[in-house]
Structure 1
């Protein structure tokens, strides 16, 4: 009896937590497919399919260019984060000298620095060196602020890999470089998927950096492009909802394909610090 009661409690809690995420998505769907002249409750799904919101959002916000900009920025940033993060974490995890411990401590301490606290000097720097409205500038910005977490997770995960693998590879004649790329990196698949999902989702949905450093219409990302629908006196809610739904599709697809590695990477990466 107690076991059954406990099961019901856990089921209710799980349903409540799931509802927190499902209900906003449901409202997003209802608003996306509803004519703006339809004054019925947002809780009622329309009995028709009104797709003009998607066409209007795509054309008026220039979502084609915004998707291209966001995709290029996200892909380049994530590739650099994965490359630099894994390469930096390998010596930090395997060769724990005093210097490496200091370097690792600096990277970890960088996690507590809020990006907005240095926004003004960053803006001035970007203006001075001509990085405003460029892929290079915004990519370097994302890599800089996301790299610390990647190094932290990679270092923790590599710490769980037995050192006997290193010794066996070295006996067989492998170099340090060969050891990393042939032995260590293939074992990092779970944590790599975790870092990929976390960073891709964060960069894809970034608004604060894109708003300040990508101000030209041709350089705007999806979030900045959709914000143009908010006016001083009115907001095109249907267009915003449909545009947001389109913007969420890539993130959902990435998570669906990599979700089996996500939990493994998080749990294994937290074993050692």
Structure 2
């Protein structure tokens, strides 16, 4: 039997969906159309479409003036090292905590969770002192170290997945003479592919969009990343919004590509094919 639905409720439902879609898509639309406008056209035409969608002058100026080539190279280097560290350390720690019982185990997990509750901004003064004492200030390595150690999101994500993997797999491998490291390398880590994909997406977006760490600890222009490169188009009295729109559009593209490539792994089963 078909359920009767009040027409008023149906109208309100679709109206709310339309409003929500507009709210979500409006910033993307404004950035997209603004990236192809000249400065005069940007301030005079409002949200209307640009006169020429083949006007790439803003993108050329962004790359030349903002040195986005250096920004992309630096952020890709930081991402490669930081993500490898997050994946390696996070999966190893989660394997140890999720598979073995030892003293202070619950206390360690509690400290990991407590670290997530402390606002990052409250630790900047102490963090700056630590960075200076380690002689990492104004070096690319400072971002790599901070992104690997200042966030325990990877441990929390991996721990939930490790706990869902049957321990029978470990026992079967031990009966065949496999060591603990072999179990981690050949059984546990391959089954953590969905967690790794989730971690890569979340950490990439977080590191890619972060402005605080590069701004505070990497003042040298040669160390700028894509987030700090946009600051070159913000003056003391006004901002060049058409150039900022072009820069945001260029910076936005890699995030979309990464998500489209890795999204299928997020929804795959954690133990898919394990028995085979």
Q: 2:132 aligns with which of 127, 130, 137?
A: 127
Q: 2:179 aligns with which of 175, 178, 183?
A: 175
The equivalent residue for 2:244 is 240
Q: 2:193 aligns with which of 183, 186, 189?
A: 189
Residues 91-126 of structure 1 deviation map (CA, whole Å, 9 limit, x = unaligned): 101113332222222112111111211111221232
Report how far residue 195 of structure 1 moved.
Answer: 0.7
Residues 136-186 of structure 1 deviation map (CA, whole Å, 9 limit, x = unaligned): 11111111122x111111111111111111111111111111111111111
The equivalent residue for 2:23 is 20
Report how far residue 13 of structure 1 moved.
Answer: 4.4
Report how far residue 20 of structure 1 moved.
Answer: 2.8
TM-score by length of 1: 0.90
Distance 2:62 2:236 in 1: 18
Residues 211-255 of structure 1 deviation map (CA, whole Å, 9 limit, x = unaligned): 100101101111111112111112111111101111111111000
CA contact (8 A) 1:27 1:43 kept: yes
Distance 2:23 2:101 in 1: 43
Distance 1:83 1:14 in 2: 41
What are the equivalent positions in structure 2 for 1:76-87 lying under 5 Å apart?
A: 76-87=81-92
Cα distance, 1:12–1:181 mapped onto 2, change above 3 Å:
farther
Q: 1:205 aligns with which of 185, 204, 209?
A: 209
1:97 equivalent to 2:102? Answer: yes
Name which of structure 1's ranges 125-134 and 79-88 shifts more when overlaid on structure 2: 125-134
Report how far residue 262 of structure 1 moved.
Answer: 3.0
**Structure 1 residues without counterparts, runs of 5 or longer:** 269-273
Rg larger for: 2
Distance 2:187 2:11 in 1: 46
1:30 equivalent to 2:56? Answer: no
Name which of structure 1's ranges 202-211 and 3-12 shifts more when overlaid on structure 2: 3-12
**Structure 2 residues without counterparts, runs of 5 or longer:** 272-276
Q: How many matched pairs?
A: 266
The equivalent residue for 1:160 is 164
Cα distance, 1:184–1:4 mapped onto 2, change above 3 Å:
farther
Distance 1:52 1:156 in 2: 48
Distance 2:78 2:19 in 1: 36
Q: 1:118 aligns with which of 113, 123, 148?
A: 123
CA contact (8 A) 1:30 1:42 kept: no
The equivalent residue for 2:274 is none
